[in-house]
């Protein structure tokens, strides 16, 4: 799902809190694909962290002798036109992929969640101002929004991250807003209020824990979409600057060599697919394990 829209209706009922770790584990690990996704993610994370040690070569080192080298025992996935080892670039690319994914999710979450929370918890004017702005942002398809923003900001991985983050803010704001609204009406918070508990404390003590399951699921699934979006932007010429390695950019510069060196584009493409798949599966698993009610909404 590229963009997940949540109607406020989904949260009219109080979402049950999941606290039983055992139930979570049982449900989460019951599906093979989910476990597979988790294993993939752990491996990719490991690869990204230890890229320096895992990569057989310097991913930026060019060399005419290795230009478009075919796969061999030295270069398992051959080398690109500048003689750079594909496997090493693939390994370093995992870093870019996770960076784009995690940092974007972090930024958009950090901005979007409080916005939704504030909107849900404040008066009509502020609420409307924030939520209508979010609605307006959601009227722009993510890729177009990111494309225009990236054109404004210029190329480079950080600008792509900023563009993707801004484009995904409204998703988080909407989910949190819906939750805040529904939870606000719940008896126990009303009770808290009457007891004189202040707003901020209510938000942290009661709303955030309730908001956690849907948000974590949304974030996980969003990670996959962000990586796909980065690939799309690369194809259009907006992305990481040389000599950096990013999977989307590798597919894009590699597909010219489809006939003589298909691995140059297939390898990074498979990497993208695998990671996006893994994020989706883990997202599914988290959803089922944390709160099956979210099915159909996330």
Residues 61-90 that bind another protein (CB under 8 A): 61-62, 64, 67-68, 81-83
Binding residue for another protein, selected from 38, 45, 111, 273, defined by CB under 8 A: 273
Which among 95-103, 113-121, 191-199, 290-298 is the span making contact with another protein, rule CB under 8 A?
A: 290-298
Using rule CB under 8 A, residue 236 touches another protein: yes
Q: Which is nearer to another protein, 91 or 276 (CB)?
A: 276
* Residue of the chain from 41, 211, 215, 251 that contacts another protein (CB under 8 A): 251
Min dist CB 74 to another protein, Å, is 18
Structure tokens given for 134 = 């979010």
259 binds another protein (CB under 8 A): yes
35-54 residues in contact with another protein (CB under 8 A) are 35-36
At residue 91, the 3 state secondary structure works out as helix
- How large is the angle between the packed helices 157-184 and 208-235, nearest 10 degrees? 150
Rounded to a whole number of angstroms, the minimum distance from the CB of residue 286 to another protein is 14
Rounded-to-10 torsion of CA 58, 64, 67, 73 = -60
85 CA to centre of own chain: 27
Smallest gap, in angstroms, from Cβ of residue 45 to another protein? 18
In the structure encoding, which two tokens stand for residue 284, read together?
Answer: 């599914």
Contact call for residues 262 and 113 (beta carbons, < 8 A): no
Q: Interface with another protein includes 32 (CB under 8 A)?
A: yes
Contact 234, 265 (CB under 8 A): no
Q: Give residues 117-136 in contact with another protein (rule: CB under 8 A).
A: 128, 132-133, 135-136
Nearest distance, CB of residue 21 and another protein, angstroms: 24
Kind and range of the H or E run holding 226: helix 208-235
Q: What angle do CA 263, 142, 28 make, to 5 degrees?
A: 70
Q: Should residue 111 be labelled a site residue for another protein when binding is judged by CB under 8 A?
A: no
Single residue of 3, 20, 52, 74 touching another protein by CB under 8 A: 3
What is the rounded CA–CA span in Å between residue 35 and residue 50? Answer: 22
Q: Which lies closer to another protein via its Cβ, residue 30 or residue 205?
A: 30
| Structural contact between residues 135 and 168, judged by C-beta atoms closer than 8 angstroms | no
Tell me the closest approach of the beta carbon of residue 154 to another protein, in angstroms: 7
- CB nearer to another protein: give 193 or 295: 295
How far apart CA 24 and CA 292 sit, in angstroms, is 11
């Amino acid at each position: 799902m590229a963009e997940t829209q949540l109607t406020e209706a989904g949260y009219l009922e109080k979402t049950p809190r999941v606290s039983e770790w055992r139930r979570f584990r049982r449900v989460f690990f019951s599906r093979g694909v989910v476990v597979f996704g988790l294993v993939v993610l752990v491996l990719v994370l490991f690869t990204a962290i230890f890229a320096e040690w895992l990569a057989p070569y310097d991913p930026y080192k060019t060399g005419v002798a290795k230009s478009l080298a075919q796969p061999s025992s030295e270069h398992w996935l051959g080398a690109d036109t500048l003689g750079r080892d594909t496997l090493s670039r693939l390994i370093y690319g995992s870093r870019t992929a996770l960076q784009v994914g995690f940092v974007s999710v972090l930024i958009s979450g950090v901005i979007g969640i409080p916005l939704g929370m504030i909107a849900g918890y404040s008066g009509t004017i502020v609420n409307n101002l924030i939520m209508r702005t979010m609605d307006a942002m959601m009227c722009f398809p993510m890729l177009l929004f990111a494309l225009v923003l990236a054109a404004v900001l210029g190329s480079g991985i950080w600008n792509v991250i900023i563009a993707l983050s801004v484009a995904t803010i409204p998703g988080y704001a909407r989910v949190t807003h819906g939750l805040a609204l529904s939870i606000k009406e719940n008896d126990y918070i009303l009770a808290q209020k009457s007891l004189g508990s202040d707003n901020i404390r209510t938000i942290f003590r009661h709303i955030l824990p309730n908001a956690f399951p849907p948000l974590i699921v949304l974030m996980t699934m969003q990670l996959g979409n962000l990586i796909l979006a980065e690939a799309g932007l690369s194809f259009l010429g907006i992305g990481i600057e040389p000599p950096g390695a990013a999977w989307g950019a590798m597919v894009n510069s590699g597909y010219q060599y489809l006939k003589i060196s298909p691995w140059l584009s297939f390898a990074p493409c498979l990497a993208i697919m695998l990671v996006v798949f893994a994020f989706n599966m883990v997202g599914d698993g988290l959803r089922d394990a944390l709160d099956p009610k979210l099915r159909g909404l996330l």
